[in-house]
DNA sequence: CTGTATCCTTAGGGATACTG
DNA sequence: CAGTATCCCTAAGGATACAG
């Protein structure tokens, strides 16, 4: 039987930067995982399974693997608990923050159903750059 | 036979703003259409068909319909040519610009294959806010 | 030129059982 | 807890022919 060679890269459709972003996380699930790691304090496989959108186990495993290959997410062991697996964002993953903030701002402006509080969105609009710097310095400190 | 009622809304998975963005344009094609309308001066169905990524006719028609429903793209008639159809971005669509710029910047930073010139990316990093204002004022003038 | 329609194949993904 | 494996089904999408 033919074994699929994982090291083969998907052929990319073009070298456009928008297309690169789409091929990295242009599906219905990947950005939700990144959101949970970035904003919702989730670190473990089990925690990532519990989001509102109800990702299934096989999809989550597949996406985490992809994100590791792309060096957006890193997999490590918990220092205090050797058996526990911890996922975290790499620098490349953390650099998605401005994108996440713009997505949040746009949806907050146009989706009446959004759960993001208006006060947060207002703050975002005014102090986006400072917000980015604050969160980044928080990471550097840790 | 059962007729699918187009006015039925897709049930949304959650009220998270990231999820709203994903359900608006979280697929492999939509953002490429927006890119072509926003940056590449394309206006017609035929022009939109000719991009590097080779979208097929049925997919293009489907996405344009969705984008119209979402009020991101508007369909109009060419003033000088009554038979020609013109697509353009609505204000909601133009508000995707900051997202597009962040996507471009991120890909430019991490994709060695990107076609965006480094000089453009450097300029983007330094003068993003001014760039947004310049392009916005251009639209307002037209 | 601007789409529709159809055919057909593959990829995505839900449900769930199972394993170290 | 952290995944794998399997089953099965639907949506996504390529190719292409056709229509107004």
Options 1.10.10.10, 3.40.50.300, 3.30.70.1880, 1.20.1260.10; CATH of A14-90? 1.10.10.10
- Whether residue B18 and residue A103 make contact (CB cut-off 8 A), yes or no, is yes
Find out whether B75 and B81 touch, Cβ atoms under 8 Å: no
Higher pLDDT pick, B63 / A116: B63
pLDDT at A53: 94
> Per the CB < 8 Å rule, is B19 touching A109?
no
Cα torsion for B24, B30, B33, B35, to the nearest 10°? 70
* Helices and strands (H, E) in chain A, number of each type: 7, 2
Angle subtended at Cα B115 by Cα B89 and Cα B120, rounded to the nearest 5 degrees:
75
Q: B19: nearest CA in chain A?
A: A32
CB-to-strand D contacts below 7 angstroms: A 44-47, 57-58, 61, 64, 75, 84-85, 87; B 27-29, 54-59
Q: Hey, is B10 helix, strand or coil?
A: coil
Bridge partners, A75 (sequence order): A87
**Cα–Cα distance for residue pair A34/B46, rounded to 1 Å:** 36
pLDDT digits (tens, 9 = 90+) for B62-108: 999 999 999 999 999 877 787 789 999 999 999 999 999 999 999 99
Domain locations in chain A as residue ranges: 14-90, 96-142
Can you tell me the distance from the alpha carbon of B82 to that of A30, in angstroms, rounded to the nearest whole number?
A: 43
**A73, two tokens:** 């997410």
* Alpha carbon distance A118, A104 (integer Å): 11
For B64, the token pair is: 């344009």
pLDDT of residue B70: 96
């Amino acid at each position: 039987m033919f074994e699929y060679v994982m090291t083969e890269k998907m052929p990319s459709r073009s070298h456009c930067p928008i297309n690169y972003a789409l091929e990295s996380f242009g599906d219905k699930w990947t950005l939700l995982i990144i959101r949970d790691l970035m904003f919702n304090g989730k670190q473990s496989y089990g925690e990532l399974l519990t989001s509102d959108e109800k990702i299934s186990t096989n999809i989550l495993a597949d996406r985490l693997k992809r994100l590791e290959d792309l060096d957006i997410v890193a997999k490590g062991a918990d220092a205090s608990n050797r058996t526990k697996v911890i996922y975290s964002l790499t620098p490349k993953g953390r650099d998605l923050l401005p994108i996440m903030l713009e997505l949040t701002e746009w949806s907050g402006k146009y989706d009446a159903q959004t759960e993001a509080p208006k006060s947060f969105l207002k703050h975002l609009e005014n102090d986006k750059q400072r917000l980015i710097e604050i969160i980044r310095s928080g990471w550097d400190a840790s």
